[in-house]
Structure 1
Amino acid sequence: MKFDNYLSGYLDRRMSLIIEEWQLSTRNDLTDLTQRFHRVQDELVGLKSFERETSTKLSDLETRVRLLKEKVK
């Protein structure tokens, strides 16, 4: 019983150092990671939309360039 109390006290005093030294994750770290993951997923939707719009505009520009080249010939 005395050893358990000593060990518990030691861990309580040194827990932050142990977490840092062993590079352990805490619940707060995992919650933050989950939130960041969801934000990145949300941003991907906008990026995919931007990619589609840009691709369409680029295709239109390429078509216009081709037509202009044909007129110049």
Structure 2
Amino acid sequence: MFALAGLAAAALVLFITAIGVTIWLYRSREQRRADGKTNVGWIVFLVIAYLLSISYLAFFILLLVSTFTGESVTVG
């Protein structure tokens, strides 16, 4: 259970980091465009970060629900 809690904490930190990078990219878009820089690397990082963090957080939330209700929770 502690390993799953650690994964959930890491997923939450990754999610918060992805949100911060998204805000930073949005605010600096005009300067980056003027400098001729591309955002391809950041976009790849954000896609991976959002996919990993959301899937782990959803899994952890479903695990918590099934723990407290005593019922098996399935998706789909």
TM-score range, shorter chain: 0.3 to 0.5
Report the TM-score, using the length of structure 1 for normalisation: 0.41
Report the TM-score, using the length of structure 2 for normalisation: 0.40
Query: Higher relative contact order by CA 8 Å / sep ≥ 6: 1 or 2?
Result: 2
Question: Which structure has the highest helix share of the two?
Answer: 1
